[in-house]
A and B are shown apart, each in its own frame.
Chain A
Amino acid sequence: MFDYLISPFLEFAFMQRALMGCLAISVSAAPIGVFLMLRRMSLTGDAMAHAILPGAAVGFLVAGLSIEAMTIGGIVAGCLVAVLSGLVSRLTDVAEDASMAAFYLISLSVGVLIISVNGSQVDLLHVLFGSALALNNDALYLLAGICTVTLFALAILFRPLVVECMDSQFLQSVSRLSPLAHFSFLVLVVLNLVGGFNALGTLMSVGMMILPSASARYWVKGLDMLLVLSCLLAIISCYAGLLLSYHVGWPTSPSIILILGSFYVLSFLFGMNGSMMSKLSKPKHLSA
């Protein structure tokens, strides 16, 4: 059992780096995912994941497979799409989800075009699916930095974010933090997606946000427990996913996301709150 569960992380530095990187992104991205879900913006996270592609591609074109260049490019592209879609929806009659969809599709097509014309299929696969087992020091520092910034920002923005989600008119009546909370949150989403794409790839990193919170919702009700359980599920999935990848030889990021996906399936089947099982097994009603 020790050989199976612990040894890979003691024997191989690349497994330690992968674990550290994935754990950093777990405790950072999972709380962001909780707020994405509560704000009914889960698909916005997916859209943003696609939107960072051209920035990463331009970074790749300029400096090759450089973490710094691709990260800066990804952050610029993601923030640009978030701000432009927000601006267009505020200055015109179109709702933000529609303008977000338009900008992310434009962004995605530009990204695929840049990589297809100038790179190879291997490069495209790296950006789309990441390489957790090849994380170097720079990538680890980046993930740790993003994790730190995210947790500090969430601690500071926690109350405005909660009120903006639940009763935005109240927030507008007591403070002018509503736009700041909204755009800061979008920047945090972009930061975590960019951090995540180094380890898990652009397409898979959004799974680290959405799946833990979607699963946790079936087990706990309060916001604090939702945040804790989401982080816990993300951490367990990273550990189990890395082991699965190591022992079976599967790619890392799909392994991690598949473990998270399994948690989600188990949760909607057997969870305590609103799962299929709880709906089927409930007595008709309680006494009055």
Chain B
Amino acid sequence: MILECDNVTLGYELHPAVHHLSIQIERGTLMALVGPNGAGKTTLLKGFMGQVSPLEGSITLHDIQRSDIAYLPQLNQVDRSFPLSVQEMVSLGTWRETGAFGRLRKQHKQRVASALNQLGLSGFEKRLIGSLSGGQMQRVLFARLLVQEADLILLDEPFTGIDSRTTHDLMHLIESWHQSGKTIIAVLHDLDQVKNHFPHSLLLSREPIAYGATNDVLTKENWLKARQLNEAFDEHADHCGHD
């Protein structure tokens, strides 16, 4: 096991975004995190990283540190007008070794070059990130993930607004990570993609609806239940009496 949630409630200002979730995620799992908008998917990823503290319950990492987690933010969370080159952006993936103050060594530069090459970005090194298309930028962020060499990889909507060719290439990379034993959790909206590529799924609608093999999770009944729960959000709900 790499990650365990024990009766976890995550939220903001007492409002639960994720309500009483208990799951165990095995090392090497390729898992999709699905649910309607506002279901708490991004909040759960932030909970895994320790950026949002549980209001109740606990999240435990087994045999890894928080610094062993690599996170892909949603594309719109990155300020692409910032005057940074592709190479500088991807080099940030070495942060775990170089920290805030260390310099890039030869092996780091080789790793960055290799990641750029693997993502088809050779020749783009000096380009500013502001001059890239959405698909190219997502490749840059994946190259940064590659350089991080993390055991647990969290992807927040990695294919939103990305063309099918890039999606296909990046999905191939995710599958190669899976084959090499990494644990990957991805927030996704395309259910066909989830069914085709992700063996495990967690359907979330602030409350966990189902967790397990994707075909058992993504049933019509479960999805209907998820939508009903999501639409029943009560701004003036009573205090939770859950045991």
- List chain A positions with a Cβ less than 8 A from chain B: 38, 156-157, 159-160, 162-163, 165-167, 169-170, 172-175, 177, 221-223, 226
Q: A5 vs B93: C-alpha distance in the bound complex, in angstroms?
A: 50
What A residues does B73 contact at CB under 8 A?
167, 169-170
* Given A167-B77, A167-B78, A173-B69 contact (CB < 8 Å): yes
Beyond A169-B77, A221-B128, 10 additional contacts (C-beta under 8 Å) are: A38-B82, A157-B100, A165-B82, A166-B78, A167-B73, A169-B73, A170-B71, A173-B70, A175-B95, A222-B85
A181 to chain B, nearest CB (A): 8
What A residues does B83 contact at CB under 8 A?
38, 221-223, 226
| Nearest-neighbor residue (CB-CB) of A167 within chain B | B78
From residue 29 to 58 of chain B, which have CB atoms closer than 8 A to chain A?
49, 51
From residue 76 to 97 of chain B, which have CB atoms closer than 8 A to chain A?
77-79, 82-85, 92, 95-96
What A residues does B49 contact at CB under 8 A?
172-173
Q: Interface of chain B, helix or strand or loop or mixed?
A: mixed
* Given A175-B95, A222-B85, A165-B71 contact (CB < 8 Å): no
Instruction: Assess the A166–B79 pair: CB atoms within 8 A.
Output: yes
Interface string of B126-160 (1 = CB under 8 A from A): 00100000000000000010000000000000000
Instruction: Assess the B101–A159 pair: CB atoms within 8 A.
Output: yes
A182 to chain B, nearest CB (A): 14
What B residues does A170 contact at CB under 8 A?
71, 73, 78, 92, 144
Q: A221 vs B69: C-alpha distance in the bound complex, in angstroms?
A: 32
What A residues does B128 contact at CB under 8 A?
221-222
Q: A97 vs B227: C-alpha distance in the bound complex, in angstroms?
A: 36
From residue 154 to 209 of chain B, which have CB atoms closer than 8 A to chain A?
none
What B residues does A160 contact at CB under 8 A?
100
* Given A160-B100, A162-B84, A223-B84, A172-B79 contact (CB < 8 Å): no
Query: Shortest 9 CB-CB distances between A and B: which pairs?
Result: A166-B82, A173-B71, A169-B73, A174-B95, A223-B83, A167-B78, A166-B79, A160-B100, A159-B100
Instruction: Assess the B51–A173 pair: CB atoms within 8 A.
Output: yes
Verify if B67 is at the interface (C-beta below 8 Å from A).
yes
What A residues does B82 contact at CB under 8 A?
38, 162, 165-166, 223
A101 to chain B, nearest CB (A): 23
| Nearest-neighbor residue (CB-CB) of A162 within chain B | B84
From residue 96 to 121 of chain B, which have CB atoms closer than 8 A to chain A?
96, 99-101
Interface size on B, residues (CB 8 A): 22
What B residues does A221 contact at CB under 8 A?
83, 128
Q: A163 vs B71: C-alpha distance in the bound complex, in angstroms?
A: 14
B41 to chain A, nearest CB (A): 14
| Nearest-neighbor residue (CB-CB) of B73 within chain A | A169
Q: A166 vs B67: C-alpha distance in the bound complex, in angstroms?
A: 20
Instruction: Assess the B85–A177 pair: CB atoms within 8 A.
Output: no
| Nearest-neighbor residue (CB-CB) of B91 within chain A | A159
Q: What are 18 A-B contacts defined by CB distance under 8 Å?
A: A156-B101, A162-B84, A163-B92, A165-B79, A167-B77, A167-B78, A170-B71, A170-B78, A170-B144, A172-B51, A173-B51, A174-B96, A175-B99, A175-B100, A221-B128, A222-B128, A223-B82, A223-B83
B83 to chain A, nearest CB (A): 5
Q: A163 vs B79: C-alpha distance in the bound complex, in angstroms?
A: 10
What A residues does B78 contact at CB under 8 A?
166-167, 170
A161 to chain B, nearest CB (A): 10
Q: A273 vs B101: C-alpha distance in the bound complex, in angstroms?
A: 31
Instruction: Assess the B79–A174 pair: CB atoms within 8 A.
Output: no
Q: A174 vs B91: C-alpha distance in the bound complex, in angstroms?
A: 13
Q: A222 vs B83: C-alpha distance in the bound complex, in angstroms?
A: 5
Q: A174 vs B83: C-alpha distance in the bound complex, in angstroms?
A: 21
Q: A157 vs B101: C-alpha distance in the bound complex, in angstroms?
A: 8
What B residues does A223 contact at CB under 8 A?
82-84
Interface string of B205-225 (1 = CB under 8 A from A): 000000000000000000000
B10 to chain A, nearest CB (A): 15
What A residues does B100 contact at CB under 8 A?
156-157, 159-160, 175, 177
| Nearest-neighbor residue (CB-CB) of A40 within chain B | B79
B17 to chain A, nearest CB (A): 16
Q: A35 vs B230: C-alpha distance in the bound complex, in angstroms?
A: 41
Q: A155 vs B63: C-alpha distance in the bound complex, in angstroms?
A: 35
A184 to chain B, nearest CB (A): 12
